[in-house]
Amino acid sequence: MSTGAGLPATSSGVSQVIASLLREVPDFPEPGIQFKDLTPVLADPRGLADVSAAIAEIARGADLVAGVDARGFLLGGAVALELGIGVLAVRKGGKLPPPVLSQSYSLEYGTATLEVPAEGIELAGRSIVVIDDVLATGGTLAATNQLLTAAGAQVTGAVVMLELAALGGRSFLEPLSVTSLYTV
């Protein structure tokens, strides 16, 4: 078990909290997959508090945090409140009214699109930390980084609760700094 680079001194405690609350579901969503369910971590008051505090420490200095659809919204909101800054919801395609900025990317079985509002939130020149629940193959975080960078933002890093290291997503994101609170 590793926790990734750049974590605060209490990172081993956060890793232990995540490990103790993580639910493993065999053969979901298909046979042979060992699904890692993080919802018990978020539903536990200590789990949510510890994860939010650890991510806030990493994101300190950002102008805005960007939470990726959907669990990234929960974490992003909690972190933004802790830091006294705003949160940007990076939505799945088709969920926001126009105009939007969008970025499509490849999935294992097709493509997906992420969107942010094109009006009403000034992103140009802002320092943003991206927050998501899981880093697997890296496609979602890479698309989020591309989307925000194209909007003129400076993405200073990404933070995830869980990294599935065997899938190699971190290498796909270089040179973006990525911090994982818990790695399997």
Query: Which residues form the catalytic set?
Result: 71, 108
C-alpha distance from residue 153 to each of 52, 58, 70, 82, 100 (Å) = 23, 18, 21, 22, 15
Beta strand 86-92 pairing with 110-117: antiparallel
Q: How far apart are CA 14 and CA 10, in angstroms?
A: 7
**How many CA atoms does the CB half-sphere of 102 hold within 13 Å?**
15
User: What residue type is 11 in one-letter code?
Assistant: S
